[in-house]
Amino acid sequence: MMVQKLVVIGAGMASGRVLEHLFEDMPGAYDVTLFGAEPRGNYNRIMLSPVLSGEKTYEDIVTHDAAWYDANAVTCRFGETVTRIDRARKVVVSAKGETPYDKLLIATGSAPFMIPIAGRDLPGVMAYRDLDDTNAMVAASAKPGAKAVVIGGGLLGLEAAAGQRLRGMEVVVLHLMGHLMERQLDPAAGYLLQKDLERRGIHVHCKAQTKAILGNGKVEAVLLDDGTVYDADIVVMAVGIRPETRIATDAHLEVERGIVVSDQMITSDPDILAVGECVQHDGQLFGLVAPLYDMAKVAAKTLTAEAAAFRPQQTSTKLKVTGVDLFSAGDFAEGEGREEIVFRDPSRGVYKRLVLQDNRLIGAVIYGDTADGNWFFGLIKDKTDIAEMRETLIFGPAYQGGASADPMAAVAALPPEAEICGCNGVCKGKITEAIAGGATTLEAVRARTKASSSCGSCTGLVEQVLAVTLGDAYAAPAVKPMCPCTDLTHEDVRRLIKSQALKSMPAVMQELGWKTSCGCHSCRPALNFYLLADWPLEYRDDRQSRFVNERNHANIQKDGTYSVVPRMWGGVTSARELRAIADAADKYNVPMVKVTGGQRIDLLGVKKEDLPAMWADLNAAGMVSGHAYSKGLRTVKTCVGTEFCRFGTQDSTGLGIKLEKLLWGAWTPHKVKLGVSGCPRNCAEATCKDVGVVCVDSGYEIGVAGAAGMEVKATELLAKATTEPETIEIITAFVQLYRENARYLDRPWKWVAKVGLPWVQATVVDDLAARRALVERFEISQSVYRKDPWAEHARPEDRADWAPLADLTLEAAE
């Protein structure tokens, strides 16, 4: 047989694969000449992203080296552009002359689409297509603080953005559509992706219409339609590609959007084949690698005169950004007759959506945990009937293969190398090993393997592994969720609010997967407190999430009336204040005036609509809310101390007043009551308070965690201080630590019992820097909350809000 001449235009991934198949199927059948526009041979273009990010080098991604071309007698004409095809004479024309062919393979690939806007020709504006582009980006990143703007939030653009970010550049992604990668992802997955990228320091701007690229002699900035300007040292356009068809068009081959090919990859000229991104098959264009490889296989068969036909397969997409797990395959649009199964684990950033039609899986979008992606992809490609496993389909292959959908059975069935804890990369085998080594509780497994010690979302799985491994010997700890709206505990929620910087109630409920639309009476007040305690300047107190007493700044009584308690600093009052209280009692027909245990006066039985006017009257006499209704600072009870008492050792009244003026208005997990006694006789009963100071000759004994409610408990000694300022500082730090750490509705004694007094002492007494930082954070919070709520609500213009909305009894009487 005579050796035929095969000329290949384009040394990309598709043509490289054609040659591999060809030399394998029929070695020596063709004498091959390979033209490539780039001055180098075939390399794995889709691995340019790791080269950009520095995770791989060019050498790592070369698919065919000089030795391979040699061994297969390929004449390489790299860096030489073919300018014309003369079909009549069967030659291709390049700068160095003519090259004859028997068969011609066009694999010119695609060209990046450059948006036709002003400034697109400026130096520094580029596409992301080949190694030269990659190297240009790497070079640009060498300048400290270099800024890159990537136009296009699709696969390629995001890989460029992530790579440049890893190179230390400041990166902005501009995307025209409402969410990233809209062709592969639905909005929910797009949202998670955007958050992930933003966590990496990439700024994402969706719905961004680029107006112009600005610069004088080189690119300097990008201007958007909305007037936004982003500085840029480099602009990468990655808005799309179009098939590179010029040479085929010039040769009068049939070209529509791409070079039209048959199932055998033959163009309108029987001696010319085409493969890759430059072709159009059955009206369709191709940009992903899997169908290109299929085309290559078919083209090689056609060249060796074997029957083969190209049938486009389903394709799947993965984003090659280290640490971003994203998978999409098939058709995931909503539609008639389609059903979907959705799984969310927001705290772990996992989202899975399967689209079903007629008991077949037709599409899948997975974000965050793509381990099962290929399995789902297989189901889509094979059109597997999934009716039998529908219930557990979303959990992946580990949960299939048996009649039982029991999660325990599924965990038992997991192989030892199955990953349990994604954060710390702990597999099942490591956990069972630890259990065999004596770790029989969750805490022990956590301590030994680190499994479930980071985000905690795999805690359930770890417990199941414990249960499966130990059988009845495993005693599951009683973990009580915060409320029926969530499976998370108060502690989990507090930790996640801090670690994920969740600053609003909708953010908490969305990110932590609340099961209800707006919480319940149990979680809302707790969340409101957690948010205002952690983000005092950013979060705004939500009045509608407060229990009635805190919402109305008065205590509701069994008949729906309220009690009003003005503050008496340190339990000290005056004739003027007492007169004002007496006048208010008369004016508003207060049925009972009572002295409280916290050294102040309670006016009971006040009607709601009278509250604002009564507060205004008390304000006028210089009094403010006593917060007798709040989870916050209640009272500071004092004795008279050195001022009058013959036994007093310090000015206990003065210290009490200072503490109360410092702490009032602060919201706390539960109420906080203080006492300051001037001597160990303890007339202020300070030793059963949340915080109690007993003055002695040498200074101040600060006790904490006392109780005198359903539980009665003496305080424990936190510290001995020698000066008043030190005492105040330690107490302030203690209150702030309690605010930052305790669960809602735990009094300090309960909280201290959980965290241990030594830890509290180490933080607020021994570690001076930590103490000061706590005091500082307390002051920041108090800049918002140290104010009188009565004065705020007593404004005449707001008083109607406290009265009935309408009185129909009057109208009826007319």
Partner 1 sequence: MTTWIDIGSVVQIPRRGARVVKTAHGCVAVFRTHDDRIFALDDRCPHKGGPLSEGIVHGTRVTCPLHNLVLDLETGLATGEDQGRVATHPARLEGGRILLDATLLAKRSAA
806 binds partner 1 (CB under 8 A): yes
12 binds partner 1 (CB under 8 A): no
Residue closer to partner 1 by CB (options 467, 520) is 520
CA distance 684 to 661: 18
626-665: contacts with partner 1 (CB under 8 A): none
Among residues 552, 599, 649, 687, which is the contact residue for partner 1, using CB under 8 A?
552
CA distance 280 to 243: 9
Among residues 556, 572, 582, 714, which is the contact residue for partner 1, using CB under 8 A?
556
CA distance 595 to 611: 20
792 binds partner 1 (CB under 8 A): no
Asked if 5 contacts 105 with a C-beta cutoff of 8 angstroms, the reply is no
797 binds partner 1 (CB under 8 A): no
Residue closer to partner 1 by CB (options 216, 517) is 517
* Short-list 612, 642, 624, CA closest to 568: 624
Segment lying near partner 1 (by CB under 8 A), choices 143-151, 269-277, 558-566, 723-731: 558-566
Segment lying near partner 1 (by CB under 8 A), choices 472-480, 540-548, 697-705, 716-724: 540-548
Residue closer to partner 1 by CB (options 545, 652) is 545
Asked if 456 contacts 492 with a C-beta cutoff of 8 angstroms, the reply is yes
Segment lying near partner 1 (by CB under 8 A), choices 55-63, 429-437, 444-452, 805-813: 805-813
Q: Which residues of 225-250 are buried (b: 16+ CB within 10 A; e: fewer)?
A: eeeeebebbbbbbbbebebbbebbee
The contact pattern for partner 1, residues 560-599, with x = CB under 8 A and - = no contact, is x---------------------------------------
Whole-number minimum distance, CB 546 to partner 1, in Å? Answer: 8
Under 8 Å CB-to-CB from 792, ≥6 apart: which residues? none
Residue closer to partner 1 by CB (options 465, 509) is 509
Asked if 697 contacts 737 with a C-beta cutoff of 8 angstroms, the reply is no
Asked if 678 contacts 695 with a C-beta cutoff of 8 angstroms, the reply is yes
Whole-number minimum distance, CB 813 to partner 1, in Å? Answer: 8
Residue closer to partner 1 by CB (options 257, 543) is 543
Segment lying near partner 1 (by CB under 8 A), choices 175-183, 401-409, 515-523, 733-741: 515-523
Residue closer to partner 1 by CB (options 575, 805) is 805
Among residues 3, 142, 476, 548, which is the contact residue for partner 1, using CB under 8 A?
548
The contact pattern for partner 1, residues 472-511, with x = CB under 8 A and - = no contact, is ----------------------------------------
CA 560 to chain centre: 44
Instruction: Write down the residue that tokens 């399967």 correspond to.
Output: 354
Q: Is 649 helix (H, G, I), strand (E, B) or coil?
A: coil
Asked if 531 contacts 505 with a C-beta cutoff of 8 angstroms, the reply is yes
Residue closer to partner 1 by CB (options 262, 549) is 549
809 binds partner 1 (CB under 8 A): yes
- Judged on CB neighbours under 10 Å (0-12, 13-18, 19+), 766 is exposed
Range 536-539, long-range pairs (CB < 8 A, 24+ positions): 536/780, 536/781, 536/783, 536/784, 536/785, 537/780, 537/784, 538/503, 539/503, 539/504
216 binds partner 1 (CB under 8 A): no
Q: Is 591 helix (H, G, I), strand (E, B) or coil?
A: coil
CA distance 71 to 77: 16
The contact pattern for partner 1, residues 740-779, with x = CB under 8 A and - = no contact, is ----------------------------------------
Residue closer to partner 1 by CB (options 75, 516) is 516
805 binds partner 1 (CB under 8 A): yes
* Short-list 546, 580, 581, 543, CA closest to 563: 581
User: Which residues of this protein are in contact with partner 1, per CB under 8 A?
Assistant: 516-521, 524-525, 543-548, 551-552, 556, 558-560, 801, 804-809, 811-812
